[in-house]
């Protein structure tokens, strides 16, 4: 996997590759940068140890493809498998897609999504999905230009924190 980036006026080689264990700290820093961009820094309550375990533990739960430029991780996509009962096929859900500001507009984000799309086809998946914040017009335009449908009639439902604990403890 590779892409070309243009920080400044020179052309530089950006490498897309699966994350390795030594990338976890840099990935966690990119996660915090994404949260800052989305104005959600206070929502980052996770830690590097859990991220490491979820990526490289006995039963990995997530996958990450990173974008590396001159030895520095400048972007990533974090995803996991789900399942469509209507299609009776697995799917991939992209939880995060992020490229550092100074590397945007160079095709890195598109290449990261493309790498996931190719993986989805290799694995026989029926779809790739992700969410976008309704205020993030640049991201919405980016996704629409890729051919993605923005589904206006679907809403995300979420149980977290105390609400999750409370609901799980209720007896039917």
Q: Which residues are catalytic?
A: 143
Are the CB atoms for 38 and 7 separated by under 8 Å?
Answer: no
Alpha-carbon gap, residue 14 to 9, rounded angstroms:
15
Alpha-carbon gap, residue 96 to 99, rounded angstroms:
10
User: Which residues, in sequence order, are bridge partners of residue 149?
Assistant: none
How many CB atoms sit inside 10 A of residue 35's CB? 16
Are the CB atoms for 73 and 23 separated by under 8 Å?
Answer: yes
Are the CB atoms for 67 and 78 separated by under 8 Å?
Answer: no
In this structure, what is the dihedral angle of CA atoms 135, 102, 78, 67, given to the nearest 10 degrees? 160
């Amino acid at each position: 996997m590779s892409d070309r980036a243009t920080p400044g006026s020179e052309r530089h080689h950006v490498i897309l590759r699966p994350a390795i264990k030594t990338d976890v700290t840099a990935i966690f820093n990119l996660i915090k940068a994404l949260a800052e961009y989305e104005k959600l820094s206070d929502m980052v309550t996770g830690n590097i140890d859990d991220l490491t375990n979820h990526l490289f533990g006995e039963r990995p739960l997530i996958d990450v493809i990173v974008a590396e430029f001159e030895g520095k991780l400048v972007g990533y996509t974090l995803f996991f498998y789900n399942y469509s009962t209507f299609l009776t096929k697995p799917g991939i859900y992209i939880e995060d897609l992020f490229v550092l500001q100074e590397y945007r507009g160079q095709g890195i984000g598109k290449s990261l999504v493309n790498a996931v799309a190719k993986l989805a086809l290799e694995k026989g998946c029926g779809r790739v999905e992700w969410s976008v914040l309704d205020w993030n017009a640049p991201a919405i335009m980016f996704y629409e230009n890729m051919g993605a449908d923005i589904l206006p009639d679907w809403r995300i439902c979420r149980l977290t924190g105390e609400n999750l604990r409370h609901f799980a403890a209720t007896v039917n």
